[in-house]
Amino acid sequence: MSATAVALLVAVVLVLALATALVLVITGGRRRDAAARAEVARLVADNNSLRERGEAAHETAELRARMVAHVSHELRTPMQAIMSLLALLDDHSLPLEQRQQHLNTLRGSSEDLLLLIDGLVETAQIDGKRPSPRADEFSPRATLEQLVDLLGPSARKRGLELRAALAPDLPPRLRGDRLRLRQIVINLIGNSIKFTRQGHVELRASARVEGGVARLAVAVGDTGVGIAPDALDKLFVEFARVGDLSLEGTGLGLSICKQLVEALGGRLDVDSEPGVGTTFRFELSMPLAAAPAAEAEAAADTRPRVLVADDDSAGRELLVTALRRGGYAVDGVADGAAAVAGALARPYVAVILDVQLPELDGPGAARQIRDVRGDVALIALTGHTEVDVLGRCKGAGIDAILIKPVKLETLRATIARVAAERSQAIDLAVIRGYVTAEDPAFVPGLIDVYLREAARDLDAMHEAAERRDIARVAQLAHRLKGSSAGFGARLLAERCQSLYAAACAGQGASDELAAVAREFARVKTALSVERTRLISS
């Protein structure tokens, strides 16, 4: 082999060796790159896992803190009631009946606490899902009145008045989550007491019933510091606090209220004006429930029913208790507007009105009641002896005025006397005083003449009113007043006097004229019955 061939062969071998070495280097680099990439990927995955575990731990800690705060707040609600009741029971001067009532309420609050603990355990087991609303059967009036009694001492300790204005026609029984309703109202009242420095806190409730379902409307208003418009958006946010931050609180109360209201199918709304006050309101739909046998008996109670209107809860409760012991069925309201609504909705034999009532004072409430009902006794309670105050009461159709302090025996006797007078369209003693043995047909004939002429005068008054002949209306009202008084129809005579005064003053007298017509219908029925008796005897 020539030297040239050998050199060429060596060159080829070297080239192949270099190529092989280069291939090995490139392959090794790729393997190291893949290993490096794999290591980086593993580190990224590990980092992501650590971050996720950290975030989960943080969320768990937040949930645990929120749960502790919620549990603390929820447990404090019934505990507040229990502590308030224990403070009330510490008063050794309480009558036995009232002490027993507080003990029964304390027992109920303890049962509520146990139910709440069971609910919290259930909530924890459900792992974040809301517990289903309960379906208790309860009295909305009794439930809300208990809360006013429970929280009243807390309000008075701060120099505030806790009022209740519960509509007299609240359904006797509802089916719904009584425990959650109590929690909502206690939280709202407690919040209002906390942020009110002077004035009052008021609980209001009414209901609209349609097709066996009641739409229960509840509102809690106060005369507190109010809330600025720009703070309303965060009012229901957990742990957010607005207003005076120096006051106690976790910022959970209103958030919990909102959640509970929504869980029951309602919505919590708020109206507020800084320096004036705040009102929280919500509505819940609850089916009507049949009253238990004991309550059905109470509903069919034949005892005479009395309505007491007094904004002083302690004084009102005293009157209610005393009158119940005296044989009356008694309801209580805290303002004049509620007194009017109650008197027009239920067949009370008497309404007792404190002269200085909120919303609508005693004489104002009496006037509105008397415009519709002439058969109910109206009795005013007042500490005033001024002539103008007493005159306003008389002018509003109030039958009797009692000056505080009033003996309970005097009050009961006054109710019995005035209610008996008001229940009669005519005073039969007046009619029977005209009866003579010589002419038994005289009084029946007299009744015929009166009824015929009274009906004629009433028709003429309607015609004059349509012509807007107010002078003629006044003339006829005055004449009918005189003849009615002569027949013992005292209430009709009063109606005619009111119509006469309105006509003389040039005021619209349509309401007064309608009241005269209603009362005349009662008089006509009573006189017709008496006429038949006289003819038959």
**pLDDT tens digits for range 458-470:** 999 999 888 888 8
Confidence bin at 187 (pLDDT 50/70/90): confident
- The predicted model gives 224-242 an average pLDDT of 66
In this predicted structure, what is the pLDDT of residue 283?
Answer: 94
Pairing mode, if any, of strands 213-222 and 200-210?
antiparallel
Residue 352 near residue 381, CB atoms below 8 Å: yes
% of the chain beyond a pLDDT of 90: 9
In this predicted structure, what is the pLDDT of residue 249?
Answer: 42
Confidence bin at 353 (pLDDT 50/70/90): very high
Q: Which residues, at least 6 apart from 88, have a Cβ–Cβ distance to it below 8 Å?
A: 94, 102, 149, 153
Take residue 377 and report the two structure tokens written for it: 């006794």
Q: Which fold has domain 132-287?
A: Heat Shock Protein 90 (3.30.565)
- Rg of the Cα trace of the chain? 39
Q: Which residues, at least 6 apart from 114, have a Cβ–Cβ distance to it below 8 Å?
A: none
By C-alpha distance, which of 306, 282, 283 is closest to 419?
A: 306
Among 3.10.450.350, 3.40.50.300, 3.40.50.2300, 3.40.50.150, name the CATH number for the domain at 301-423. 3.40.50.2300
In this predicted structure, what is the pLDDT of residue 129?
Answer: 47
| Of residues 278 and 315, more confidently modeled | 278
CB neighbourhood size of 465 (10 A)? 20
In this predicted structure, what is the pLDDT of residue 239?
Answer: 44
Could you tell me where the beta strands, DSSP code E, fall in 8-160? 136-138
In this predicted structure, what is the pLDDT of residue 221?
Answer: 92
In this predicted structure, what is the pLDDT of residue 218?
Answer: 94
- The predicted model gives 264-269 an average pLDDT of 89
At residue 398, the 3 state secondary structure works out as coil
In this predicted structure, what is the pLDDT of residue 19?
Answer: 65
Weakest mean pLDDT among 19-23, 272-276, 319-323, 336-340: 19-23
- The predicted model gives 340-348 an average pLDDT of 85
Confidence bin at 492 (pLDDT 50/70/90): confident
- The predicted model gives 105-122 an average pLDDT of 58
Whether the predicted pLDDT of 238 surpasses 60: no
State yes or no: cis peptide before 405, omega within 30 of 0. Answer: yes
Whether the predicted pLDDT of 118 surpasses 60: no
| Of residues 78 and 390, more confidently modeled | 390
pTM of the entire structure? 0.45
At residue 401, the 3 state secondary structure works out as strand
For 217-232, b/e burial (b = at least 16 CB within 10 A) is: bbbbbbbbbbbeeeee
Domains of the chain by residue range: 132-287, 301-423, 428-536
Q: How many Å apart are CA 1 and CA 197, to the nearest integer?
A: 121
* Residue 16 identity: L
Domains 132-287 and 428-536 share a fold: no
- The predicted model gives 172-188 an average pLDDT of 88
In this predicted structure, what is the pLDDT of residue 422?
Answer: 78
Residue 359 near residue 335, CB atoms below 8 Å: yes
Whether the predicted pLDDT of 251 surpasses 50: no
Whether the predicted pLDDT of 259 surpasses 50: yes
Encode pLDDT of 207-216 as tens digits: 998 888 999 9
- The predicted model gives 362-383 an average pLDDT of 85
Confidence bin at 411 (pLDDT 50/70/90): confident
Encode pLDDT of 21-47 as tens digits: 666 666 666 666 666 666 666 766 766
Q: How many Å apart are CA 460 and CA 454, to the nearest integer?
A: 10
In this predicted structure, what is the pLDDT of residue 31?
Answer: 65
What mean pLDDT, rounded, does the chain reach? 77
In this predicted structure, what is the pLDDT of residue 204?
Answer: 92
* DSSP track, 374-386: SSSEEEEEES---
Weakest mean pLDDT among 33-42, 186-195, 513-522: 33-42
Residue 391 near residue 363, CB atoms below 8 Å: no
Q: Which residues pair with 381 in a beta bridge?
A: 354, 402
Q: Which fold has domain 428-536?
A: Four Helix Bundle (Hemerythrin (Met), subunit A) (1.20.120)
Pairing mode, if any, of strands 305-309 and 136-138?
unpaired
In this predicted structure, what is the pLDDT of residue 217?
Answer: 93
Distances (CA, A) of 446 to 19, 51, 217, 450, 477: 145, 103, 54, 6, 20
